[in-house]
Structure 1
Amino acid sequence: MKRLYTAFALVIAMFTATAPGAASLDEQLQQAAAAGDAAAVRDLLGKGAAVDARDSARRTPLLRATHGNHVDAARVLIDAGADVNAKDAIQDSPYLYAGARGHLDILRLTLAHGADLTSTNRYGGTALIPAAERGHIETVRALIDAGVDVDHVNRLHWTALLEAVILGDGGARHVEIVKLLVAAKADANLADGDGVTPLQHARRRGYGEIERILSAAGAR
């Protein structure tokens, strides 16, 4: 009778461990990272969850944490060896996403742990280009200091300087970004696919301060 009870208990335990709907360690890690629960992330990694496990969209736990700008959870994952360059199904990586969204603390963590400065997003752009477009001043500064190519051209035939002018609002943030790019020796005459230069775009939009900065840099 005792043996029968023991066997029955083992069967129940096995069924419970593999019951439909039960989240695996990797799935739990994804959920904890997305929620920014650094303590749970650390605990699950200690239990054997894969640090670079992928979800159905090919996102890693680190990318999920980066989406929410969950710095502490991201730090735990990076310290555990998470790949800061692992891309999802739409070609975002923790490094590229942090740069594009201005998540400066996570960006700095990725830069300190092997970020590929030449990696590009689905538009063929480096992290610097969307950072410039969206007016993330300190992010642009960090990426320039890290050595990202300031004249990289994406599939739209735009550089960071062109995007700062074309897609920016001409306000204080984009003025400062244009200053940073010019100071970093960005080519002020590198035109778009139609041959229109940053200066010409600034004039068309009435961005007087940007026009003055570019003219002083020798733009035509």
Structure 2
Amino acid sequence: MSTNELVTEFLFAAEQGNTDALKACLDKGVDINATNRQKRTAIIIASLNKHYPCVELLIAAGASVDQQDQTCFNPFLISCLTNDLTLLRLVLPANPDLDRLTRFGGVGITPASEKGHLEVVQELLTHTDINVNHTNFVGWTPLLEAIVLNDGGARQQEIVKLLLDHGANPHMTDKYGKSPLALAREKGFNEIADLLIAAGA
């Protein structure tokens, strides 16, 4: 079997969730971080397909959890973007690089805060030292995203409170100089405005 065929078989096994086939390819000396045309490794493919036993096997075998595909996905960022707490808990012990960026320049907690992934945000704030005040390419922190890009409902209020409790700066403005409090008021999110005021905004 050629190297290319072995890689194809390996990546297909990851897509299918076939741990036996993954092991067989590893025994034959496949490059564990080999990629397809989208620059996806076996662990990225397994992560996207929620094949957790495959993810576990690949981590144990030394797969890179930091390598990113064309769209900047890696297992850690996939867990944050897709609200996959199971995946996040598998990946965190492998010490992922928390500073890897999404295609919009956020860190993992940025999209999780924006999309209302409360349990993921909680896990990140409790078990990692991820930068809660990271600014993405459009000049927004996780706190600003949590306010501006969602509905201000109960989950978002909880996320805003968590962010503030874990050191989110209530004074960091967007690129137009608007503060979190001004933006919350603009959107009529009174409960969030109250949380910001309580945090010293």
Segments of 5+ residues of structure 2 without an aligned counterpart are: none
Q: CA deviation at 1:137?
A: 1.1
Matched, 1:163 2:148: no
Cross-structure match for 1:205: 187
Q: CA deviation at 1:120?
A: 1.3
Q: CA deviation at 1:209?
A: 1.4
Give the 5 Å matches for 1:137-148. 137-145=118-126, 146-148=128-130
* TM-score normalized with structure 1 length: 0.85
Q: Residue by residue, what CA displacement relative to the aligned partner does 1:26-51 show, whole Å, maximum 9, x if unpaired?
A: 11121121222233323332333321
Percent identity over paired residues: 38
Cross-structure match for 1:94: 75
Runs of 4+ in 1 over 4 A off after TM superposition: none
Cross-structure match for 2:164: 182
Q: Secondary structure at the match of 1:109?
A: helix
Give the 5 Å matches for 1:105-184. 105-145=86-126, 146-184=128-166
Of the structure 1 ranges 82-91 and 32-41, higher mean CA displacement relative to structure 2 is found in 32-41
Q: CA deviation at 1:214?
A: 0.9
* TM-score normalized with structure 2 length: 0.93
Give the 5 Å matches for 1:7-156. 24-145=5-126, 146-156=128-138
Counterpart CA distance in 1 for 2:7 and 2:59 is 16
Q: Residue by residue, what CA displacement relative to the aligned partner does 1:146-194 show, whole Å, maximum 9, x if unpaired?
A: 0001000001100000000111111121111111101001001111001
Counterpart CA distance in 2 for 1:114 and 1:126 is 15
Q: CA deviation at 1:102?
A: 1.7
| Larger Rg belongs to | 1
RMSD (Å) for aligned C-alpha atoms: 1.7
Aligned residues: 200
Q: Secondary structure at the match of 1:187?
A: coil
Of the structure 1 ranges 30-39 and 54-63, higher mean CA displacement relative to structure 2 is found in 30-39
